[in-house]
Chains A and B, each alone.
Chain A
């Protein structure tokens, strides 16, 4: 039986791994390549890298850790692909098919698009036709405004006219393989997923929905599986702040009877 997935999300800003709150405050957590090694050892099911930099400056000055300075997000992805042997999704700043091709050729398995899809929905169809639906993830950032959900673009900064359910149906029809659904209100809040948002979207499409935004304890993962039809649960901050986080989260779900891969700790040289 196909398993539900547990997915750490790594947010990268100017080449550094960061913690995010409300899409606004970002705190530096360190080197993204060493972080992914840890997550591999804890047997995460997949990994999602999102580049949230506003400007094109990348700088990891940590030669002591054995990784050279990197001048672009794409080079960081290349480093990461050498140390992780699980499916990797890469998102942020993707504007055309050659951006996608570049990321896939460096070892990404899927790409995640957001603003570009909102600007030109046919981009989803073009990407799916060129590379296959299985590698096209559309990321949706939703925000509650005056009691209604709205899809936001440009890293949460601009309103669109779409409500998340309507937009999710459109991206599915255009050929997206998966939806990464993030709640801006819950980002960094640790109060749990926005269950109402997740269930509305996951019940309106057939493609897998990945939940993101708000996890503060392992039970929040379980709540998403209990109350919504999401196929996967993702989180950023909690996975980076807790030792053996993925392993412990998976153990919690596994021991409580959820349909996840059995927890494992891998020794990686």
Chain B
């Protein structure tokens, strides 16, 4: 058996249960928590998210010890995965319902999609075109479908950090990454086989 322990950060976001369910079904040692000892004990950290940028950041700041988290992620390089809004808050700033400061772990801004008339939110299965290989995508085809639900997108400052793109009226970043930090705009926990594979890959990092 391995000693991997996943900590799903609990800050009152809606889809925590779904992320827990899939990892539990995959037989993983997983906990939903915001306690410092669980963040310290976790080998892999996941930040799920549904909802608006500002509200999410506010809840994160209120419920999670950011200094401890940042030390584990930035300094100790624990693999980190942000899902949907959990990816968006990695940016420096977000512009949903006003301007809000993000975690700033990957430089960029979160702005409303310009879809050229297509309805928002962007809901449904769409293909993720891989621009740059990473171990996170091992075994996935270059054009895999994942399930999306969002209206805002991560506009990166540094093209180096873009792993995959998706098209919905405009091309947007569906996967970003910097060192041990990964962000996915789609919901792997709702993306069946492809989602499971991506999560397994994430857990095999390190």
A residues within 8 Å of B by Cβ?
1-3, 5, 40, 43, 45, 81-83, 85-87, 104-107, 109, 131-134, 177-178, 206-208, 231, 261-262, 264, 266, 269
Contact A2 to B125, CB < 8 A, known contacts A83-B25, A105-B17: yes
- A86 contact set on B, CB distance < 8 A: 147, 190-192
B residues within 8 Å of A by Cβ?
14-15, 17-18, 21-22, 24-25, 50-51, 119, 121-127, 145, 147, 149, 151, 167-168, 187, 189-193, 195-196
Tell whether, in the assembled complex, residue B145 and residue A85 are in contact, meaning their CB atoms are under 8 Å apart.
no
Contact A85 to B126, CB < 8 A, known contacts A1-B167, A104-B14, A132-B51: no
Tell whether, in the assembled complex, residue A106 and residue B192 are in contact, meaning their CB atoms are under 8 Å apart.
no
- B17 contact set on A, CB distance < 8 A: 81, 105-107
Contact A43 to B192, CB < 8 A, known contacts A85-B25, A208-B123: yes
15 contacts between A and B (CB under 8 A): A2-B126, A3-B124, A3-B145, A45-B124, A82-B25, A83-B25, A85-B21, A85-B190, A86-B147, A87-B149, A87-B187, A132-B51, A133-B121, A262-B145, A266-B192
Tell whether, in the assembled complex, residue B168 and residue A2 are in contact, meaning their CB atoms are under 8 Å apart.
yes
Shortest Cβ gap from B205 to chain A (Å): 21
In the assembled complex, the Cα of A133 lies from the Cα of B187 at a distance in Å of 17
In the complex, the chain B residue whose C-beta lies closest to that of A44 is B192
Tell whether, in the assembled complex, residue B125 and residue A261 are in contact, meaning their CB atoms are under 8 Å apart.
yes
Contact A3 to B190, CB < 8 A, known contacts A104-B14, A134-B149: no
Tell whether, in the assembled complex, residue A107 and residue B21 are in contact, meaning their CB atoms are under 8 Å apart.
yes
In the assembled complex, the Cα of A264 lies from the Cα of B24 at a distance in Å of 23
- A177 contact set on B, CB distance < 8 A: 121, 123
- A208 contact set on B, CB distance < 8 A: 119, 123-124
Tell whether, in the assembled complex, residue B21 and residue A264 are in contact, meaning their CB atoms are under 8 Å apart.
no
Lowest 4 CB-CB distances: which A-B pairs, in order? A134-B121, A3-B125, A2-B126, A134-B149
In the assembled complex, the Cα of A109 lies from the Cα of B190 at a distance in Å of 9
In the assembled complex, the Cα of A88 lies from the Cα of B126 at a distance in Å of 17
In the assembled complex, the Cα of A105 lies from the Cα of B22 at a distance in Å of 15
In the assembled complex, the Cα of A110 lies from the Cα of B126 at a distance in Å of 18
- A206 contact set on B, CB distance < 8 A: 119
Tell whether, in the assembled complex, residue A85 and residue B191 are in contact, meaning their CB atoms are under 8 Å apart.
yes
From A1, A87, A132, A231, contact of B121 by CB (8 A): A132
